[in-house]
A and B are shown apart, each in its own frame.
With several copies, the nearest count.
Chain A
Amino acid sequence: MELDSLYQEVILDHYRNPHHKGLSGEFDVQVKHNNPSCGDEVTLNLSISNGVIKGISWDGVGCSISMASVSMMSDLVIDQQYSRAVEILNQFTSLMQSKGQSKGDEELLEDAVAFAGVSKFPARIKCALLGWMAFKDASSQAME
């Protein structure tokens, strides 16, 4: 079924058991992003030191796609160099814009290639990007 390409098992797993959820008290930058058309919200705390993403914690409400995406994003960028994290972010963003034409770079995106199917559902792309945009915002503030 077409739907299975959207709701990959690994996405539903992250949705049910999100990683790094629950805001920690320690952070350098806090951002709040939302998706006005559907009401999804995420608050993201970021710690960064010497250009390395030291920690991410987050909280939010939203659909499976948006919540799973923040969860996987956190896994992917924690402990990465900022520059590498940006590379991953850009890869993910272009995967989302690929209209189902790309499978995603598994070396960079790891489990997040599971989101490839989302790119065929235009209305869901912004769900998948919500957490990434929050991270982009927070990390660029931190690096300023």
Chain B
Amino acid sequence: MIDLTKYLEDFPILQRTVRGGNRLVYLDSGATSQKPEVVIAAESNFYRKHNSAVHRGAHLLAEEASLAYESARENVAKFIGAEIVETIFTKSATESINALAYSFSNSEPGSKFHLKSGDEILVSEMEHHANLIPWQQLAKRTGAKLRWFEVTPEGRLDLSKISELINKKTKIVAITHQSNVLGSITPLSKITAAAKSVGAIVVLDACQSVPHFEVNVKKLDVDFIAFSGHKMLGPTGIGVLWGRQSLLEEMPPFLFGGSMIDSVTMEQSTWAELPRKFEAGVPNMAQAVGLSAAVDYINQIGISNIHEHENQLTKALLAGLAHMQGVKVIGPTDLTERGAVVSFTVDGIHPHDVGQVLDQYGIAVRTGHHCAWPLMRKLNVVGTTRASFHLYNSISDVEKLLEGIAQVQSYFKVNK
């Protein structure tokens, strides 16, 4: 039994009280995580001591800022088993994925990134909007066709048609590593093997995986991954795009401006080496430094300890919900290939109302379509209530939630 309770005091926000004078039971880490003091301090410390534009000045502060920023890159790269030059800072996973989609649009005919009518892009019905709409719009811009894996009633990817869906026309497979609604983890190896056999590029939305279990880009055998800092104890305003070096070298850039150039005339420009080619402008330096502090913090606890801890909480919550009348889990009900995100519905009560009553008890959950509207339609629900964990949650949070749901039912006088 992993006990992480001693870490709770590292999170200043958990010391405050919320509605009704209750302690904060924060079960919305799937949307954004809370930050330990060391992360907040790392960002502040950068501003207080080293702030200066990186890569640009001849002076000491510029030197220190560049060192801080590049060390952050190195640290994040190591965390995901990547090469340093393959690790690109963006503002968010959303930007990372859009950057890819635009880089594809920007590529010349003949390049492996160039899409045209007849080509196919494959996603799934359980994608977050951030890993659906950029591809939908890329398809629209290029004439390529968007196709998708369906979702089974149990909330798993339906791979039964994989050999038809991944075919010679498939140029991109963009898939989530873990559903932000269902918690189900994608059986990646089947997909990467099929994609490889047809030469398709695999893009992984790792927003819900990197913060919660070990992700090693080399082992995964995908081509690109995207994730956000704010879901992994890091600051807002920072994300990562990782890609295989050879692909990133071949791929045209996305944002144009300072620091990403090799030479510039009024007529034309050439691009800098990796990773700068993909980082135009003065970067989100303090946020990169904060993210690096978050990585240090996670490493100190151990990502596998965090994972096991979250598994324990998920198990307890699933067990508790299984005993409740009128409550239905949306997604896998056991721990096989699932993470610490649990969606459920309460008969007769709209998720928004469930969330509102829970809030009265200090319990912060997320309600609605979770930016996965097509999935809601597919599963025939108007939305769900979602509890999601991180290392700072405890078994007492699970108990509070279970009690809270019972209160919701009695508040709305639904027949259990």
Which residues of A approach B to under 8 Å, CB–CB? Answer: 1-3, 6-7, 12, 34, 36-40, 61-65, 121-124, 127
Contact A38 B356 (CB under 8 A): no
Given A3-B360, A63-B350, A36-B263 contact (CB < 8 Å): yes
Contact A64 B263 (CB under 8 A): no
- B261 lies within 8 A of chain A by Cβ: yes
Given A2-B19, A3-B360, A123-B66, A36-B350 contact (CB < 8 Å): no
Q: How far is it, in angstroms, between the C-alpha of A122 and the C-alpha of B66 when the chains are bound? A: 9
- B191 lies within 8 A of chain A by Cβ: no
Determine, out of B4-12, B132-140, B367-375, the stretch whose residues face the partner at the interface. B367-375
Contact A37 B55 (CB under 8 A): yes
Given A3-B411, A39-B376, A122-B369 contact (CB < 8 Å): no
Given A63-B350, A122-B67, A6-B356 contact (CB < 8 Å): yes
Residues of A within 8 A of B357 (CB): 3
Given A62-B382, A123-B62, A37-B259 contact (CB < 8 Å): yes
Residues of A within 8 A of B263 (CB): 34, 36
Residues of A within 8 A of B356 (CB): 3, 6, 121, 124
Q: How far is the CB of A86 from chain B (nearest CB, A)?
A: 22
Proximity bits, B261-273, A CB within 8 Å = 1, else 0: 1110000000010
Residues of A within 8 A of B367 (CB): 38
Given A2-B20, A127-B352, A39-B369 contact (CB < 8 Å): yes
Partner of B350 from A3, A37, A64 at Cβ < 8 Å: A64
Q: How far is it, in angstroms, between the C-alpha of A93 and the C-alpha of B413 when the chains are bound? A: 30
Contact B353 A63 (CB under 8 A): yes
> What are 23 A-B residue pairs whose CB atoms fall within 8 Å in the complex?
A1-B360, A2-B20, A2-B360, A36-B261, A36-B262, A37-B55, A37-B368, A38-B369, A40-B352, A62-B350, A62-B352, A63-B350, A63-B352, A64-B349, A64-B350, A64-B353, A64-B412, A121-B356, A122-B63, A123-B58, A123-B63, A124-B352, A127-B352
Residues of A within 8 A of B67 (CB): 122
Residues of A within 8 A of B66 (CB): 122-123
Proximity bits, B344-359, A CB within 8 Å = 1, else 0: 0000011111001100
Contact A39 B19 (CB under 8 A): no
- B183 lies within 8 A of chain A by Cβ: no
Residue of B nearest to A60 (CB): B382
Q: How far is the CB of B381 from chain A (nearest CB, A)?
A: 10
Residue of A nearest to B259 (CB): A37
Q: How far is it, in angstroms, between the C-alpha of A37 and the C-alpha of B351 when the chains are bound? A: 13
Residues of A within 8 A of B360 (CB): 1-3
Q: How far is it, in angstroms, between the C-alpha of A144 and the C-alpha of B377 when the chains are bound? A: 35
- B243 lies within 8 A of chain A by Cβ: no
Q: How far is the CB of B250 from chain A (nearest CB, A)?
A: 20
Residues of B within 8 A of A36 (CB): 261-263, 272
Q: How far is the CB of B54 from chain A (nearest CB, A)?
A: 10
Partner of B383 from A39, A64, A123 at Cβ < 8 Å: A39
Residue of A nearest to B272 (CB): A36
Q: Which 5 A-B pairs have the closest CB atoms?
A: A63-B352, A63-B350, A39-B369, A38-B368, A61-B382
Residues of A within 8 A of B350 (CB): 62-64
Within 8 A of A (CB), among B375-394: 376, 382-383
Residues of A within 8 A of B368 (CB): 37-39
Q: How far is the CB of A62 from chain B (nearest CB, A)?
A: 7
- B218 lies within 8 A of chain A by Cβ: no
Q: How far is it, in angstroms, between the C-alpha of A36 and the C-alpha of B58 when the chains are bound? A: 14
Residues of B within 8 A of A34 (CB): 262-263
Q: How far is it, in angstroms, between the C-alpha of A123 and the C-alpha of B67 when the chains are bound? A: 10
